[in-house]
Chains A and B, each alone.
Chain A
Amino acid sequence: MASFPSSLPVPTTRSYSPGTYPQAEFEAQNGVKTIIRYGKNRTGATLSLGFSNITDAQAATILSSYEAVNSVWDEVTFNNTNVIKGADSTMQSFFIERTELKWRYAGPPTVQSVYPGISNVSCSFVACLDAPI
């Protein structure tokens, strides 16, 4: 379990989706729907972060975090980082997520250079329910 870099500033943008419940939906020809729920926990929550006009050194910490986390299939935590700031405590608990949901990078971060030494970075995460070992 690796902490997202705590030296980063509060994100410029943050987008969160709580995910869905695992279920299958059947609709009969007369319009009647039958839903089969396979589990009681939602999964697939997503969190997208945007950092605008940060220093290249700060952008590099995100890339290093991605390498360190994904190279060993680890997970990321946002507790006690600036990622969750700018929201009240109730929202922050969603950004941190429940302990059984593990944040992982949904894909590689994107770095856009905008000025010498200044970059825009976007990164996205997905919360997964891991199968028990």
Chain B
Amino acid sequence: MAFYSGKDGQLFIDGDKAAKVQSWSFSSSQAVLETTSLEDTDRTIVQGVRSYSGSARLFYYQASAAAGGDVSDLIAKCIKAGSGAGDGTATDSSSALLKLKIVDGSANGRFITFSTLITGISMNSAVGEVLSADISWESNGAPTEVSI
């Protein structure tokens, strides 16, 4: 038996291990359809659709100047520059394959992988703080891998 902590967590973005990840999280929810009828005393339900979302916090880190990094890659997926001021037809956002992993000593670890759309990124530069980015995402469809 073992417990795991932040040092055992890893985040993979499009198959590549992300550097300087502070945290990741995900949640799933199951919608229900009510089937309670006139004769019933208690609510009855059947399953509806499932949905998944999550978030992560990464340091804005570059191996060398102007090299870019994981945060830059994620920003590029959901923020697209237009051709000029007032351009309302920039490129569509891209999906990101996110693998949330726990290193447990086994060959592959424990992990769950989602094909996601990044729904939010926020960055704040402030005195006395290391620059980091908070990202939020929602899954497109069911997880592609579940071994967690």
Contact = CB atoms under 8 A, between A and B. Distances in A.
A118 interface: yes
A85 B38 CA distance: 7
B37 A10 contact: yes
A57 interface: no
Contacts of B37: 9-12, 86
Interface string A1-23: 00000000111111000000000
A53 B38 contact: no
B35 interface: yes
A52 B34 CA distance: 7
Contacts of A12: 35-38
Interface string B28-40: 0000011111111
Residue of B33, B37, B46 ringed by the most chain A CB atoms within 10 A: B37
B39 A85 contact: yes
A53 B45 CA distance: 9
A53 B46 contact: yes
A133 interface: no
A80 to B, nearest CB: 15
A82 B40 CA distance: 12
A69 to B, nearest CB: 23
Contacts of B34: 52-53
A115 B32 CA distance: 11
Interface string A36-57: 0000000000000000111000
A52 B35 contact: yes
A13 B37 CA distance: 7
A115 B49 contact: yes
A114 B33 contact: yes
B33 A118 contact: yes
Nearest to B38: A86
Contacts of B33: 52-53, 114-115, 118
Nearest to B31: A115
A32 interface: no
B48 interface: yes
Contacts of B35: 9, 12, 52-54
A35 interface: no
Interface of A: 9-14, 52-54, 82, 85-87, 114-115, 118
Interface of B: 33-40, 46, 48-49
6 contacts: A10-B37, A12-B37, A52-B34, A53-B35, A53-B46, A86-B37
Given A85-B38, A118-B46, 9 more contacts: A10-B37, A10-B40, A13-B38, A14-B38, A52-B35, A53-B34, A53-B35, A53-B46, A86-B40
